Amino acid sequence: MAIGDTLRLADLASIDGVSYLDDPEETVLASVGLPAREIEPEPEEPAEGEELPEGEVPLELLVVGLGNPGREYVGNRHNVGWMIVEELARRHGASWKSKFSGQLAEIRLDGHRVGLLKPETFMNESGRSVGAAARFFKLEPDAILVVHDEIDLEPGRLQARSGGGLAGHNGLRSIAAHLKTSDFLRLRVGVGRPGRGDPRRPADYVLSNFTAEEDADTLVARAADAVEKLDAEGLQRAQTEFN
């Protein structure tokens, strides 16, 4: 039997003198499906005070790209954070693994060990993924950089900052709740608001795709440059060059 085949009672040779209580055409004896995909278990969080294995370099920065999982969200303004960490992974030849209710990759920037995280919890529950990663790697808030869309910045503008308000962004709210602080690093990526005459609500606008005029590729590349600058030379230098 091949994948997708089904063996019914009616497929068997009839036996003289034997009658069936169930309909032979409806009674399934066996079917062949795809083997179950092995799901990699989430890594256990280290015990309090546990040290990294000898020789292992600690993670110096976790870059979190916010977005929603699913094909229908690819190219959305709300997924620009995902797009930026994917660009960083592409530049540095990193591969993704399922970790912390999301996708995790690791790269080296200026000799530093840097994690890239794409939460797959949907935007409003991003903190579950970020909180788990922060506890596992024992990261302070100033070692976590959250890259997200910002409707209060004009399209294409970037703003690096530390802490600040949550600006009505549900992903940021969730992260602040799980970290129990809002004093993490941010890279705000301007996507603007609906233009004059555009009837869409902001929530619907950010769930629509970038237009050709907005040139998402250039925006994503520049934002990835800003992340690399921040890691190499610090927040203030990144602010001077990109804000």
Domains belonging to the chain, first-starting first, are 61-194+202-242 (3.40.50.1470)
Other CB atoms within 10 A of residue 178 CB: 18
Long-range contacts of 34-43 (CB under 8 A, 24+ apart): 34/3, 39/98, 40/97, 40/98, 40/99, 42/99, 42/100, 42/101, 42/132, 43/99, 43/100, 43/136
Position 57 scores a pLDDT of 73
Residue of 78, 148, 169, 178 marked catalytic: 78
Active-site residue flag, 112: no
Q: Give me the pLDDT at residue 51, please.
A: 52
21-43 pLDDT, tens digit per residue, is 555 555 555 554 444 444 444 44
pLDDT at 17: 63
Regions of the chain short of the pLDDT cut 50: 2-4, 32-50
Give the model's pLDDT for residue 36.
42
User: Which pLDDT score is estimated for 26?
Assistant: 52
pLDDT at 15: 64
